[in-house]
Each structure stands twice: as C-alpha cells, then as structure tokens.
Copies of this chain bind each other. A is one copy, B any other.
Amino acid sequence: MNATPAEPVTWPSGKRAAACFTFDVDAESAILNVDAAHGDRMSVMSHQAYGPLVGVPRLLTLLARHDVRSTFFVPGYTAVRYPDVVRAIADAGHEIAHHGYLHEVLTGKSPEEEARILDRGSEALAALTGEAPVGYRAPMWELNWHSPTLLADRGFLYDTSLMDADHPYELRVGEHGQLVEIPVQWALDDWEQYCYLPEISGSGLIESPRKAAEIWRLEFEGLRSVGGCFVLTNHPFLSGRPSRAAALEELVEHVVSCSDVWVAPLRDIALHVRGLGLTPRSIIRPDPADF
C-alpha cells in the first residue's frame, strides 16, 4: 500500500492559480433533510428562504459588478420551490450544478438510494434549465466510496467534495472511468463562521464578516502561491446578508485584481483539467484488515 498525492496541474497561459466563488443554494432543503418537522417552524423556514429571495439577487448583482461567472449548487427542491430564482442564476451566465434533491446527506445510503436521489436532482434541474448538470457536490461534502461510479455512469464531468489536494485531479473510477475532482476544504466555507439555528445547527457563536474574510483571503494567498485552486463555498441564506456580502465583495475584488489567477466556473476548470490528459489517480480505501 502506498497512497500517492495528486500530481500538479498547469493552468491556462499566464495563470498560476485558479479560483471559483461557489454558492450552495440550500434554502429549506438542508434543514428539511435534517428533520422534515422543521418545516413546521415558520421562522426557521423564513431564515432559509432569505437565501433565494434576497441573498441570490444580491450576490448575482455583486458577481456581475466584477464580471465574475460562477457555479451555483442547487438542490432539486430549491429549483422546484424557486424556479424564477434558479432561472435568473442560469440567465446571468452562471453554472447550475447538482447538490442532491433535498440536500440528502449520503452517509450510510445504498448505491440504489443514492442513484434515485441523483436522478431526481438532475431531473429537477434539467426541467428548469434544459440541460443535465455536469458538476456535483455532495451535501455536507459527504461522498461514499461508491459515489464516483454513480456519477461517472451518469455522465458527470466533475465532483467537488473531496479534500486531499490543493488543486484538481483526475480520479480513477472503476477500471476505465474517470471523474475530475476539484477539492474543497472546511475553512473555505461560510457555514462554520456564520450559521446559527437553535437546536438545528451551529456552535452558538456567530463570527464577524471581517474574521471570515481574513481566513478566506489568507488561504487564497496560500493557494495562489502554490498554484492551487481556491474554491470558496458560500450559502446565500448566510453570506447574502448585507455586511457579509460586502466582505465577500472585497475579497472578490481582490481576487479578480490578481492577473495571475484564473477566475472561472468549476465546469470550465474541470474541462481545462480534462484537457490536460492527466493519468487518473486512485484513492485507496482503508482496509479494516490493516487496523
């Protein structure tokens, strides 16, 4: 046994790193999936609805102001509940990608159950945008070992849920398949900084946008210096609030001003990586016989 790291990638001419500001439009899904009974709590539902109703329009304007195209991960139920919002995202030139139907956390799910969820989510998005999504992000970034096969079988180009590299790679799937993997990390997520929903989520503390933006900017500079891919994950129900959007905008402004950084939707980044013809890499599942 000898697990090996992802080999480095090159970026388009003149660029030494890449970046994408991604948004998970979880809205009610992430909460209803924890417990459908939370749907009985009008205030909790209104807290989540802020995302598509107020956060998304604000963030679309913000991205347009800096000419940034991005990737939005949309649970199928969000598309059913807010079709106009999701259409507006697509119409603004952003990528719509897969994030489950009801933000189903996949830990413990069988391949059959997971397949049903994948198909239901794809259908909900395709019904709205006219095309099936090619990018996938597992809710809570919880991929099962069988997930990559399910994704490859359905023609997905990329996944963005793993955490073992600073930049994308080709993931070996089965014997002949492959999937571009664009890694993420918990420090580049707004949930841990901002989310508080009593008895549902959060440590109970809420951080200042200055602190969140400091972490993200430091890691952006870190990833930039190593030729990595900066993938930030924001939730419109959190980072759509005015002061958080303002802090995010300062970061967007800075990143866009770095001429050595390629800012693009994840689909474009994945296509670029696919074009590099990398040798797919295997991730070795820990074998209980070894421990």
A residues adjacent to B (C-beta < 8 A): 1-6, 28-29, 32, 36, 39-47, 49-50, 52-54, 57-58, 77, 80-84, 101-102, 107-108, 138, 140-145, 147, 161-166, 183, 185-187, 192-194, 196-198, 202-211, 214-215, 218-219, 221-223, 225-226, 228, 241-247, 283-286, 288, 290-291
Q: How far is the CA of A208 from the CA of B215 in the complex (A)?
A: 5
**Also in contact, A82 and B203, with CB within 8 A (given A46-B283, A162-B46):** no
**Also in contact, A40 and B2, with CB within 8 A (given A49-B164, A203-B203, A242-B219):** no
The 10 residue pairs across chains A and B that have the minimum distance between CB atoms: A222-B242, A203-B204, A222-B243, A218-B243, A46-B164, A5-B53, A46-B162, A47-B163, A219-B243, A49-B164
On chain B, the residues within 8 Å of A42 by CB distance are 143-145, 147, 162, 283, 285
Report the minimal beta-carbon distance from A24 to chain B, rounded to whole angstroms: 14
Contact of B241 with A81 in the complex, beta carbons under 8 Å: no
Contact of B43 with A142 in the complex, beta carbons under 8 Å: yes
Report the minimal beta-carbon distance from A258 to chain B, rounded to whole angstroms: 15
Contact of A241 with B185 in the complex, beta carbons under 8 Å: yes
Contact of B164 with A50 in the complex, beta carbons under 8 Å: yes
Return the contact of A186 from the options B28, B102, B185, B196 (Cβ within 8 A). Answer: B196
Contact of A288 with B206 in the complex, beta carbons under 8 Å: no
Q: How far is the CA of A144 from the CA of B45 in the complex (A)?
A: 10
Contact of A49 with B161 in the complex, beta carbons under 8 Å: no
**Also in contact, A101 and B291, with CB within 8 A (given A54-B165, A225-B242):** yes
Contact of B77 with A291 in the complex, beta carbons under 8 Å: yes
Contact of A77 with B290 in the complex, beta carbons under 8 Å: yes
Report the minimal beta-carbon distance from A198 to chain B, rounded to whole angstroms: 6
Contact of A140 with B243 in the complex, beta carbons under 8 Å: no
